[in-house]
């Protein structure tokens, strides 16, 4: 990829020149991002509508407002984040200056997916820029309309010596990954996450992988089915189910299932009307390939609600499946569509065992009026994040790190966590040449007396001193 | 199923039993580890003597005391670190509970190194235990005596299923890396670091890689050379130069080069006497291969001091090289031996440029009485860590993370950073099912003016 070599060299030279180091430069870039969002809002909404049939409401809350919020937070907080972080010292270093210096890594690669193509590109970008890096962005080629705006419009708002967009599909991305980067941030599937990590290993490049999985949703008997159904339905069918943190499947008792199904029907009708295909609030599947995949999943279990599909406009109805076996395909892959399987369990313990037999998910949900039940689910499982009694609201708090664990990912971001992710935390200790007498203890030749003193000091529990 | 698989499977089953979750259990295990170090001190120092010619003092001072302090620090802080950390809420979540919940990752693999064969495996282990994990230890086979000792004493003091020790060479390590772990911490070379990360990628296992590089040591004209040279000599020649954060080479103005040599020689004599071979405080090279390698780096160089070695005892004299050519072999690899090259530069800018054309090192040192020089050196370079006006010491401060950047590594540990490295920070939001009406604004259908035409 010769063309890219030149781009990489240009960005690295700009980085080496020190251009991205001053806060003023970074803030100017972040302000540019803010202007990009504000000045192109209509075009962005149109593009999201073209790519995923997102409603203006969804585009606003989940893409534009979230990106804008992160830009604003970074602008407000940058100087504080950039400050050297003083740390407590031990006895031997009392007179020294000890701090952690946050430094940019250098050249960062951000690979973004198609489902929230604006948010999942810009939010990491905010962090990488705030931390002082030069950035290569590889937007998804599948969400074509947004890709075009990111490639043609976004660079005008940023210093193009420090920012570039790389385009292409899997082949071009593989070639891109042969180059050396100083950090790689990837959002996508676990399968591709492994490929990215293996490529990063060749250059010892640190990474953050935001992957996915099947996010379980435990619904206790002690709850109001309609409230739960409203929340489940909203978070499941938002963006037509194409959300990495969407509730993927439900675990509940047979009795609760009986009450949940009609409640889910109420919620779906309330949200999308009698004919969801004509609702402006329901999106579409991103591509033929995913449409076909989801159509296949409709054959699992038994359709309790929905199940309709229309290949002509990649429409899949908000669907609820029951009588699903664990071995069926719908329980073997992340659904990433508007299909919600309900599986019955006989107890909380059975639900927890079921969850723990499987890969750690990106998100986990538990609904109950009984806070003890919610706490138990939390305590006895693991997942990237957790929300009790709602869907993925937890990711709207910039004070909470957003990331996975195990097969759902490694590393995290949002807010200050983004800045820290894209920074090297350099340990610094500044000593003085004076007071050399204190150091005498550490120099050879070593006497048995010194050893006795050291051992005695170790005996004293309260003394945490390194006698250097 | 082979033995290695079985051991890892046992560790996982032991983790899944849940017994590492209560803090009390973890603290008891750490106390057992502390007892092991205190009761088996002589065995530990004996193994270090056999592997690397360390004496009692260097064993305690360079290896064991740091582990004991870490255990102390961790036991005291664990309740605080393990507690849920409340976080700032948004206007929409004011009524909710929002916090970060720390959880163990599961089964952690720690691969040790041979140069500080006790510390570099046990200090990470302390953090992994504190975070509630099962820990599989793979000591370096090059420090054979320590590897055998750990396999014997650890099961005598600690939970046998949770903390197994697996020994072996490359074939065993390769087998081990096929297993699935929840975190791998590796200390060693960049070449093997790549192999570890590639193996980890197959399971999407996060890694901490503590690698190395050439840690530069810039000595400014404006500094107290006596003190500087004493400190540099101490850090460079401890463990016969086999320290990942040792000052690898010196950068200085030619006008002070000979003074530096004289003062280094003076300190060396003070530390090790006329003949370091006779000093009980001077170490030996770990094996024949490394002995040959380091001796090879001296060839063709201008030797200002030392330059000799004795193959049978793997002794290499403290050696100083002057007027070193940046293109020569000694400047192309991490020396990891008692050979200190001096490369002349004519300015701070030149020194900075020199440093920046090499890979980012694990440590960087700058000696100067002028704060501006120190500030500029730090601001215009990068490295895992920095000590100004001394060497090595930054890694002994608990509150400073110990790790590299670029080819010198990724991730970090020590103190609270260890706890974080070996934990998953799980974001939690707990809401109420009451008052769904409050949320109705978010549900479709959205207000008419916002719908798409």
Is A5 considered catalytic here? no
Which residues in chain A are contacts of B433 at CB distance < 8 A?
223-224, 227-228, 367-369, 389
Residue B386 in contact with partner chain A when CB distance is under 8 A: yes
Listed in sequence order, the residues at least 6 apart from B453 whose beta carbon sits closer than 8 Å to its beta carbon are: none
Q: Cα–Cα distance between B72 and B59 in angstroms, integer?
A: 19
Nearest C-alpha in B relative to A209: B204
Q: Which of A218, A259, A152 is nearest to A363 (CA)?
A: A218
List the catalytic residue out of B217, B223, B229, B244.
B244
Which residues in chain B are contacts of A401 at CB distance < 8 A?
100, 425, 427
Is B244 considered catalytic here? yes
Nearest C-alpha in A relative to B430: A388
Please determine, for residue B452, whether its predicted confidence score (pLDDT) is greater than 80: no
Contact B162, B135 (CB under 8 A): yes
> CA of A60 to nearest chain B CA: how many angstroms apart?
9
> CA of A379 to nearest chain B CA: how many angstroms apart?
9
List the catalytic residue out of B144, B210, B334, B420.
B210
On average, the pLDDT of chain B sits at 96
Q: Cα–Cα distance between A107 and A135 in angstroms, integer?
A: 6
Inter-chain touch B427–A271, beta carbons under 8 Å: no
The gap from C-alpha B69 to its chain's centroid, in whole angstroms, comes to: 16
Q: Cα–Cα distance between A304 and A341 in angstroms, integer?
A: 9
Which residues in chain A are contacts of B445 at CB distance < 8 A?
271-273, 279-281
What percentage of residues in chain A have a pLDDT greater than 70?
98
Q: Note the ipTM here.
A: 0.97
Q: Cα–Cα distance between B257 and B345 in angstroms, integer?
A: 10
Rounded to the nearest 10 degrees, what angle do helices A23-39 and A65-82 cross at?
170
The gap from C-alpha A247 to its chain's centroid, in whole angstroms, comes to: 16
Q: Which of A77, A66, A50, A182 is nearest to A124 (CA)?
A: A66
**DSSP letter, residue B447:** P
Average pLDDT on B397-416 reads: 97
User: Which strands make up the sheet holding B409-410, listed edge to edge?
Assistant: B134-138, B107-111, B183-187, B207-210, B409-410
Residue B70 in contact with partner chain A when CB distance is under 8 A: no
pLDDT confidence of residue B318: 98
Both structure tokens of A202: 């060749």
Torsion of Cα atoms, A353 then A356 then A361 then A367, to 10°: 30
Inter-chain touch B430–A427, beta carbons under 8 Å: no
Which residues in chain A are contacts of B272 at CB distance < 8 A?
444-445
- Tens of pLDDT along B93-123? 999 999 999 999 999 999 999 999 999 999 9
> pTM higher than 0.80 for the full model?
yes
Residue B102 region, left (φ>0) first, then alpha (ψ -120 to 50), else beta?
Answer: beta
Inter-chain touch B397–A425, beta carbons under 8 Å: no
Residue B198 in contact with partner chain A when CB distance is under 8 A: yes
> CA of A110 to nearest chain B CA: how many angstroms apart?
18
Residue A386 in contact with partner chain B when CB distance is under 8 A: yes
Beta bridge partners of A134: A107
Which residue has tokens 């499987």?
A358
Mutate to test the interface with A, among B185, B433, B449 (most CBs of A within 10 A): B433
pLDDT confidence of residue A460: 66
Residues 351-370, chain B, touching A (beta carbon < 8 A):
356, 367, 369
Which residues in chain B are contacts of A389 at CB distance < 8 A?
430-433
> CA of B321 to nearest chain A CA: how many angstroms apart?
22
Inter-chain touch B451–A206, beta carbons under 8 Å: no
List the catalytic residue out of A147, A210, A300, A334.
A210
**DSSP letter, residue B333:** S
Residues 276-295, chain B, touching A (beta carbon < 8 A):
279-282
Residue B167 in contact with partner chain A when CB distance is under 8 A: no
Inter-chain touch A429–B387, beta carbons under 8 Å: yes
pLDDT confidence of residue B448: 52
Alpha helices in B17-64 (DSSP H): 23-39, 41-52, 56-58
SS in 3 state form for B137-148?
A: EECCCCCHHHHH
Please determine, for residue B1, whether its predicted confidence score (pLDDT) is greater than 80: no
On average, the pLDDT of chain A sits at 95
Inter-chain touch B103–A202, beta carbons under 8 Å: no
Which residues in chain B are contacts of A400 at CB distance < 8 A?
87, 98, 100, 427-429
Mutate to test the interface with B, among A444, A445, A451, A461 (most CBs of B within 10 A): A444
Residue B431 in contact with partner chain A when CB distance is under 8 A: yes
Nearest to A458 among B65, B202, B394 (CB): B65
Q: Cα–Cα distance between B424 and B128 in angstroms, integer?
A: 12
pLDDT confidence of residue B435: 77
pLDDT confidence of residue B344: 97
Which residues in chain A are contacts of B420 at CB distance < 8 A?
none
- Tens of pLDDT along A394-419? 999 999 999 999 999 999 999 999 99
Both structure tokens of A203: 């250059």
Residues 130-159, chain A, touching B (beta carbon < 8 A):
none
Q: Cα–Cα distance between B279 and B267 in angstroms, integer?
A: 14
User: CA-based diameter of chain B, in Å?
Assistant: 91
Which residues in chain A are contacts of B448 at CB distance < 8 A?
none
- The DSSP line for B83-144 is S-EE-PPPGGGTTSEEEEEEEE-SEEEEE--SSSTTHHHHHHHHHHHHTT-EEEEE--SSSH
Q: Which of B232, B214, B165 is nearest to B356 (CA)?
A: B214
Question: pLDDT of chain A along its 468 residues, tens only?
Answer: 468 999 999 999 999 999 999 999 999 999 999 999 999 999 999 999 999 999 999 999 999 999 999 999 999 999 999 999 999 988 788 889 999 999 999 999 999 999 999 999 999 999 999 999 999 999 999 999 999 999 999 999 999 999 999 999 999 999 999 999 999 999 999 999 999 999 999 999 999 999 999 999 999 999 999 999 999 999 999 999 999 999 999 999 999 999 999 999 999 999 999 999 999 999 999 999 999 999 999 999 999 999 999 999 999 999 999 999 999 999 999 999 999 999 999 999 999 999 999 999 999 999 999 999 999 999 999 999 999 999 999 999 999 999 999 999 999 999 999 999 999 999 999 998 777 887 888 999 988 888 888 888 777 654 444 444
Inter-chain touch B384–A427, beta carbons under 8 Å: yes
Inter-chain touch A386–B57, beta carbons under 8 Å: no
pLDDT category of residue B306 using cuts at 50, 70 and 90: very high
Which residues in chain A are contacts of B87 at CB distance < 8 A?
397, 399-400
Contact A203, A191 (CB under 8 A): no
Give the DSSP H or E segment for A144.
helix A144-152
Listed in sequence order, the residues at least 6 apart from A309 whose beta carbon sits closer than 8 Å to its beta carbon are: A291, A294, A295, A298, A315, A316, A317
Residue A452 in contact with partner chain B when CB distance is under 8 A: no
pLDDT confidence of residue A441: 85
> CA of B30 to nearest chain A CA: how many angstroms apart?
14
Which residues in chain B are contacts of A313 at CB distance < 8 A?
none
Inter-chain touch B429–A386, beta carbons under 8 Å: yes
Which whole-number Å values give the CA distances from B161 to B11, B31, B134, B338, in the listed order? 5, 17, 8, 41
Inter-chain touch B452–A55, beta carbons under 8 Å: yes
Q: Cα–Cα distance between B17 and B136 in angstroms, integer?
A: 17
Residue A80 in contact with partner chain B when CB distance is under 8 A: no
List the catalytic residue out of A217, A223, A244, A300.
A244
Nearest to A397 among B60, B90, B432 (CB): B90
Q: Which of A46, A58, A48, A69 is nearest to A246 (CA)?
A: A58
- Tens of pLDDT along A186-239? 999 999 999 999 999 999 999 999 999 999 999 999 999 999 999 999 999 999
pLDDT confidence of residue A465: 47
- Burial bucket for residue B349 (CB in 10 Å: 0-12, 13-18, 19+): exposed
What percentage of residues in chain B have a pLDDT greater than 70?
98
Q: Which of B370, B374, B249 is nearest to A101 (CA)?
A: B374
């Amino acid at each position: 990829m010769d063309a890219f070599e030149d781009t990489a060299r240009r960005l690295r030279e700009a980085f080496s020149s020190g251009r991205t180091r001053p806060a003023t430069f970074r803030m100017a870039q972040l302000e540019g991002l803010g202007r990009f969002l504000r000045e192109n809002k209509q075009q962005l909404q149109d593009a999201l509508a073209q790519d995923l049939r997102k409603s203006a409401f969804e585009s606003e809350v989940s893409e534009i407002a979230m990106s804008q919020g992160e830009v604003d937070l970074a602008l407000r907080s940058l100087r504080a984040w950039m400050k050297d972080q003083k740390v407590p010292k031990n006895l031997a270093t009392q007179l020294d200056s000890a701090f952690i210096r946050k430094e940019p890594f250098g050249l960062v690669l951000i690979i973004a997916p198609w489902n929230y193509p604006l948010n999942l590109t810009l939010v990491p970008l905010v962090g990488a820029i705030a931390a002082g890096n030069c950035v290569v962005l590889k937007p998804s080629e599948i969400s074509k309309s947004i890709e075009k705006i990111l490639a043609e419009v976004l660079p005008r708002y940023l210093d193009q010596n420090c920012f570039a967009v790389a385009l292409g599909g899997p082949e071009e991305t593989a070639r891109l990954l042969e180059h050396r980067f100083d950090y790689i941030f990837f959002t996508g599937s676990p399968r591709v996450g492994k490929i990215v990590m293996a490529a990063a290993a060749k250059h010892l490049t640190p990474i953050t992988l935001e992957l996915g999985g099947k996010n379980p949703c435990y619904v206790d008997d002690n709850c109001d089915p309609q409230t739960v159904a409203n929340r489940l339905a909203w978070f499941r069918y938002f963006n037509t189910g194409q959300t990495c943190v969407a509730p993927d499947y439900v675990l509940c008792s047979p009795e609760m299932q009986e009450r949940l199904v009609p409640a889910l029907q109420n919620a779906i009708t309330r949200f999308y009307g009698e004919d969801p295909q004509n609702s402006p609030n329901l999106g579409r599947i991103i591509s033929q390939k995913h449409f076909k995949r989801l159509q296949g999943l409709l054959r699992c279990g038994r359709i309790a609600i929905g199940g309709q599909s229309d290949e002509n406009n990649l429409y899949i109805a908000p669907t609820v499946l029951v009588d699903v076996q664990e071995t069926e395909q719908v329980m073997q892959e992340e659904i990433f569509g508007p299909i919600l399987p309900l599986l019955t369990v006989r107890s909380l313990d059975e639900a927890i065992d079921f969850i723990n037999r499987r890969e750690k998910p990106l998100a986990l949900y538990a609904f109950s009026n009984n806070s003890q039940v919610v706490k138990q689910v939390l305590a006895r499982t693991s997942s990237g994040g957790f929300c009790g009694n709602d869907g993925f609201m937890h990711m709207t708090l910039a004070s909470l790190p957003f990331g996975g664990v195990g097969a759902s990912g490694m590393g995290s971001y949002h807010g200050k966590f983004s800045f820290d992710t894209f920074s090297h935390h350099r340990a610094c200790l500044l000593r003085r040449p004076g007071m050399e007498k204190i150091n005498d203890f550490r120099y050879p030749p070593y006497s048995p007396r010194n050893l006795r003193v050291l051992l005695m000091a170790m005996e004293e529990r309260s003394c945490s001193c390194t006698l250097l | 199923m082979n033995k290695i698989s079985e051991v890892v499977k046992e560790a996982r089953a032991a983790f899944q039993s849940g017994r590492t979750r209560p803090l009390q259990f973890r603290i008891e295990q750490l106390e057992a580890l502390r007892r092991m170090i205190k009761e088996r001190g002589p065995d530990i120092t004996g193994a270090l003597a056999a592997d690397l010619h360390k004496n009692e003092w260097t064993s305690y001072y360079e290896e064991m005391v740091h582990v004991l302090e870490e255990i102390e620090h961790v036991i005291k802080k664990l309740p605080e670190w393990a507690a849920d950390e409340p976080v700032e809420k948004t206007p929409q979540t004011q009524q909710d509970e929002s916090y970060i919940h720390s959880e163990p990752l599961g089964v952690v693999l720690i691969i040790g190194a041979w140069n500080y064969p006790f510390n570099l495996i046990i200090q990470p282990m302390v953090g992994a235990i504190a975070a509630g994990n099962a820990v599989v230890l793979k000591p370096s086979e090059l420090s054979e005596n320590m590897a055998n000792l750990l396999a014997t004493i650890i099961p005598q003091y600690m939970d046998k299923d949770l903390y197994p020790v697996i020994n072996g060479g490359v074939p065993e390590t390769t087998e081990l890396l096929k297993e699935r772990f929840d975190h791998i911490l590796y200390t060693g070379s960049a070449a093997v670091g790549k192999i570890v990360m590639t193996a980890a990628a197959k399971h999407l296992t996060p890694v901490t890689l503590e690698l190395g590089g050439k840690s530069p040591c810039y000595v400014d004209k404006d500094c107290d050379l006596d003190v500087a040279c004493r400190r540099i000599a101490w850090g460079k020649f401890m463990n016969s130069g086999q320290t990942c954060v040792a000052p690898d080479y010196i950068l200085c103005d030619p006008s002070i080069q000979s003074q530096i040599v004289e003062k280094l020689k003076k300190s060396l004599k003070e530390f090790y006497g006329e003949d370091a071979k006779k000093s009980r405080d001077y170490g030996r090279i770990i094996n024949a291969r490394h002995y040959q390698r380091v001796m090879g780096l001296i060839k063709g160089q201008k030797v200002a001091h030392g330059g000799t070695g004795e193959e049978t005892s793997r002794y290499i004299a403290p050696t100083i090289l002057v007027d070193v050519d940046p293109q020569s072999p000694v400047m192309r690899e991490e020396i990891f031996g008692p050979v200190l090259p001096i490369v002349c530069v004519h300015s701070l800018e030149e020194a900075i440029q020199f440093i920046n054309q090499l890979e980012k090192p694990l440590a960087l040192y700058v000696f100067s009485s002028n704060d501006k020089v120190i500030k500029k050196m730090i601001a215009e370079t990068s490295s895992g860590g920095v000590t100004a006006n001394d060497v090595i010491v930054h890694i002994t401060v608990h509150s400073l993370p110990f790790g590299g950047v670029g080819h010198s590594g990724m991730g970090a540990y020590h103190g609270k950073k260890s706890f974080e490295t070996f934990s998953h920070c799980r974001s939690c939001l707990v809401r109420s099912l009451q008052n769904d009406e409050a949320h109705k604004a978010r549900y479709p259908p959205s207000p008419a003016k916002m719908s798409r035409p």
